[in-house]
Amino acid sequence: MKKLIIIITVLLISGLAFADDNRILIDEANKNYSDDNFDQAIEMYQKVIENGYESTELYFNLGNAYFKLNNIPSAILYYEKAKKLDPLDKDILFNLQIANNRIVDKIETVPDIFYQRWWNMLVYSLTVEEWGWISLISFALIFIMLLFFLLSNMFWLKKMSFWMGLLFILFSGTSYLLANQKYNSFKKDHQAIVFTPTVTVKSSPSETGIDLFVIHEGTKVLITDHIGIWYEVEIANGSVGWIQESDLIKI
């Protein structure tokens, strides 16, 4: 028992020290950024990421540092990483738009159907944890309503608990789906940024494939398939083709 307590204590102290080291690096990086030492700021921000730490603020600041050095593809990459953590942040969306205005490709986005927009807005209105808690609480309330329905002798209470139980089943199932979709959208690396200045998109995963269209660095793509060193990608207007893994970095 004593050994277990010692191990837990050591792990807690190590975790706190690790967090403090990251905070020191972030503070130094922020100071370098304020002093216009963007290269040094980027180096320190990257060290924090290598330590396994991530946050909206960290990715946003790193994107800003790359933007200041006119490294637009890297700026877009880290703005997109920040957006992945907080899709509704106005500062992230604004800076991302400014960076996208600086790249060659101006691709018309295929608009989502209205119910897809509403669903996505609902998905990102709360965190995964908050949707999870709503699902769990609703699930617990289902059992409470079931107990009222089974044990009560009053007709109006049975009726109310029955309909409330159905409502909580709906809440629980919907919030679970929302939490699951947000978790999957965060974990899956199915989006990427092109980092090669000019890329010819092929009709098949081969150099001998037909040339379909050309995209440039900084363009965001959706990865839809993967064969060897080739990725099938879709751009914002719905066009699809194949490019090599070395041409992009996943968000």
**Given a cut of 90, is residue 208 above it in pLDDT?**
yes
**DSSP secondary structure of 110-150:** PPPPHHHHHHHHHHTTS-HHHHHHHHHHHHHHHHHHHHHHH
Q: Judge contact between 63 and 78, C-beta under 8 A.
A: yes
Look at 16-20, 56-60, 125-129, 219-223 and tell me which has the smallest mean pLDDT.
16-20
**Given a cut of 70, is residue 149 above it in pLDDT?**
yes
**Domain-wise residue ranges, the chain:** 2-100, 114-187, 191-250
**Given a cut of 50, is residue 5 above it in pLDDT?**
no
pLDDT confidence of residue 177 = 87
Question: Given this structure, which CATH class describes domain 2-100?
Answer: mainly alpha
* pLDDT per residue as tens digits for the range 89-145: 999 999 999 999 999 998 877 666 777 778 777 877 777 788 888 888 998 999 999
Using 50, 70 and 90 to split pLDDT, how confident is the model at 46? Answer: very high
Q: Which fold has domain 191-250?
A: SH3 type barrels. (2.30.30)
Cα dihedral 92, 93, 94, 100 sign: positive
pLDDT confidence of residue 71 = 97
**Given a cut of 80, is residue 20 above it in pLDDT?**
no
* pLDDT per residue as tens digits for the range 183-195: 776 666 689 999 9
pLDDT confidence of residue 19 = 58
**Given a cut of 50, is residue 12 above it in pLDDT?**
no
Using 50, 70 and 90 to split pLDDT, how confident is the model at 196? Answer: very high
pLDDT confidence of residue 122 = 80
**Given a cut of 80, is residue 8 above it in pLDDT?**
no
